[in-house]
Amino acid sequence: MFNKNTPPQTLSSFIWYFSKKRFLNLTLLAIAALVWALDISFRSYMLKILLDRIAAFESTYMLIIPALGYIFSSILLNASFRFYDIVRLHTIPLMQADITRTMTKYVQNHSYNFFQNHLSGSVANQIHEMCVGVREIIKIVIDRFFANFVALIIAAMTLSSISPIISMIIITWSIFFLWITHYLSSESNELAQKFSEVNNITMGNIVDSLINNMTVKLFARNTHELDNIQKHLNVQAQADKDLEWCMLKIRAIQGFAVSTLIGTLMCYLLYMRHYNLVTVGDFALTISIAIAISESILNLSEDFVTFSESVGQCKQSMELITQKHDILDHQDAQSLKIATGAIRIENMTFSHASTMKVFDDLSIEITGGEKVGIVGFSGSGKSTFVNLITRIFEPQKGRIFIDNQDISLVTQDSLRECIGFVQQDPILFRRSIRENILYGNPHASNIEVIEAAKKAFAHDFIMNLPEGYDTLLSERGVSLSGGQRQRISLARAFLKNAPILIIDEGTASLDSETESLIHKSLESLMHNKTVLIISHRLSISTYLDRILVFDDGRIIQDGNPEALKNIPGVYAQLRNTQI
C-alpha cells in the first residue's frame, strides 16, 4: 500500500501499485502485442503456402486463399496497432499523472530538514524521471519482452513442422542471445543508474543557480556559476560516454550473433534442399521468420539501453520513496480543537542534526489570548522555538501542548490550520496576487480578499498594478518589492484568521510609515488570539503582554515589557541600542 507511512520499498512494487489500477487496460495492450507476435509466423506461413502452390503450378484459384490470408493478416496487424495506440493514450498519461501527484504528495510530507538537504530542482527532476521511466519500462515489457517471447514460441512451433533441428537452432540461439545480453546489461544498468545520479545533481545545480540569479548578478559570478556547472557537466558527459561504450560492446556482440544465426540456418537449409527435404516455401518461411525474430531480438539491444536507463533513473528516484518521513502523524491522530489557544511546553529538548543542543529541558506556559514577544540576538533559538510549535521540527524529548492537547497526537494539517504565520522573508507563488492571498483561505470570497488586503495596506498598490488582483507574479514574487511581498503575506494571515498567530519579523521589510499603519492593523488582528511575535524591532512591544528573551536556547528574561526595560539585561540592551 502506498501511503506516507508504508511506501513501496522496491521498484517492482512501486510499478505494480500504479499498474494494478489499470490492469484491464494493460491487458488489452498485451493482447495487441500478442497479435503482432502471431503475425510474424502467420504471414510467413501464408507466404510459404503461396510459394509452394506457385512452384507446384497450381491454379490461380488455389492461390487466392493464402493471398487473402496474407492481406488479412496485414490489415489485422495495422488495426491492432491503432487499437494499441487508443488504449495507450487512455492509460499511460493518466498513470503518469497519478505517479506525479502521488510522489509530489509524498515529498511534500517530508520534513523541513529534507528540503534543506536536497536541491528542489533535483527532487522535481527525479519525480519527472520516475514518470518517464515507468512509462518506458511498461512499454518495453509489453511491446518487446512479452511480445518477442510469445513470437519466439510461436515461431519455434511453426518451424518444427519443417524440421525440429531448425526449431532447436532458433530456440538455442535465442536463449544464448538473451543470456549474453542480460549478462552484459548488468554493467549497463549500473552505468545508467550512475548517469541518472550525476544528471540529477547537474540539473539541481542549474536550477539552484537560476533561482539565485539575482545573487549571481550582484556578485558578478556568472563565470563562477558556469565553471561550477561545467564541472558537473564533465562528470555527466563521462558517465554518458561510459554507458554508450558499454552499449557499443553489447551491439557488436549481438550483431555477430545475428549473422551467425542467419549463416547457420542458410547452410542447413541449403543442405536440406540439396536432398529435397524442404520446399521453396519452407526455405522462404524459415528465412523470413529467422530474419524477423533476429531483427526483433536485435532491437532489444536498443530496448535494453532504454530499459537499463529507465530502471537506473527509477531506482535513483526511489530514494524519494524509500526515505521515510521524519515527522509522522500518530496512527490515531485526531484534529486539533482550539478553545483558548493556550500553549504549554514541558521539558523540551531539541538539537539539529550534528549540532549542539538548541534547547535543553525547556518548560514554559503561554496563556490563551496572550500576546508574547520573542526577542534575542541572532542564533538564540527564536525561530526554532516557533518551528517546534508548528511541528516543522520535532523535539527529541519533552512534549508541547495546545489547549491540553499533545500536538504530536494531532494531525499536522489540523495543527497548522489553527496557526497563522507571517514569514520573515515571504516567498510568493508564481500565480496571481489574488491566488497568493487566497492561500490563507481558499474558500474566501473576493470581498474578503480585498478586505484582507486593505487591512494589510496592500490594496492601493495592488490596484495600481496592470491587472490589479489578477496580476501574475514572477517566480518567488521577486517582481514586487520586499515591503509589498510582506504586505501580501500579511493579507494572507488576515484572511486565514487563525486562533494562533505567529509573526516572524512581520514588519522588517516595511518603511517606518507603513510599519506604523501595520501596527494598528495588527492590534485588530491580534484580538482574541494567542500571538507570538519574533522581532528585533521592539517598537511592537506596546501591544504585547509579555516578552520572552532568548539567549543560547534559554529563556533568560520573562516579563512585561514595561518592567523588563528597567531591568539590566539583554532586553534593556536591545532596547537601548535601537533607541
Going along the chain from its start, the domains and CATH numbers come out as 11-322 (1.20.1560.10), 343-578 (3.40.50.300)
Strand, helix or coil for residue 339: coil
Cβ contacts of residue 93 below 8 Å, gap of 6+? none
Of the listed ranges 162-166, 255-259, 295-299, the one predicted with least confidence: 295-299
pLDDT of 445 reads 92
Cβ contacts of residue 169 below 8 Å, gap of 6+? 261, 264, 265, 268
Contact in structure between 356 and 529 (CB atoms under 8 Å): no
Measure the CA–CA gap between 461 and 455, rounded to whole angstroms: 13
pTM: 0.69
Contacts 24+ apart (CB under 8 A), 208-217: 208/119, 208/120, 208/121, 211/120, 211/121, 211/475, 211/476, 214/478
Q: 401-419: per-residue pLDDT in tens?
A: 999 999 999 998 899 899 9
Q: 116-142: per-residue pLDDT in tens?
A: 777 777 788 888 888 888 888 988 888
CA angle, 318 then 322 then 325, to 5°: 130
Kindly calculate the radius of gyration of the chain based on its CA atoms and give it in whole angstroms.
35
User: 124: exposed, middle or buried (C-beta count within 10 Å: 0-12, 13-18, 19+)?
Assistant: middle
215: left (phi over 0), alpha (psi -120 to 50) or beta: alpha
Question: Does pLDDT of 23 surpass 80?
Answer: yes
For residues 113, 118, 121, 125, the Cα torsion angle rounded to the nearest 10 degrees is: -110
pLDDT of 343 reads 93
Measure the CA–CA gap between 505 and 374, rounded to whole angstroms: 10
pLDDT of 365 reads 93
Question: Does pLDDT of 347 surpass 70?
Answer: yes
Q: 488-517: per-residue pLDDT in tens?
A: 888 888 888 899 998 886 555 556 666 666
Contact in structure between 230 and 254 (CB atoms under 8 Å): no
Measure the CA–CA gap between 381 and 536, rounded to whole angstroms: 13
Question: Does pLDDT of 4 surpass 60?
Answer: no
Strand, helix or coil for residue 359: strand
Cα–Cα distances in angstroms (integers) from residue 535 to residues 498, 499, 507, in the given order: 20, 20, 9
Q: 263-285: per-residue pLDDT in tens?
A: 888 888 788 877 788 778 777 88
Contact in structure between 487 and 458 (CB atoms under 8 Å): yes
Distance of CA 223 to the CA centre of its chain: 31
pLDDT of 538 reads 65
339 backbone dihedrals φ, ψ, rounded to 5°:
-110, -65
Cell of 468: 490589479
Distance of CA 380 to the CA centre of its chain: 35
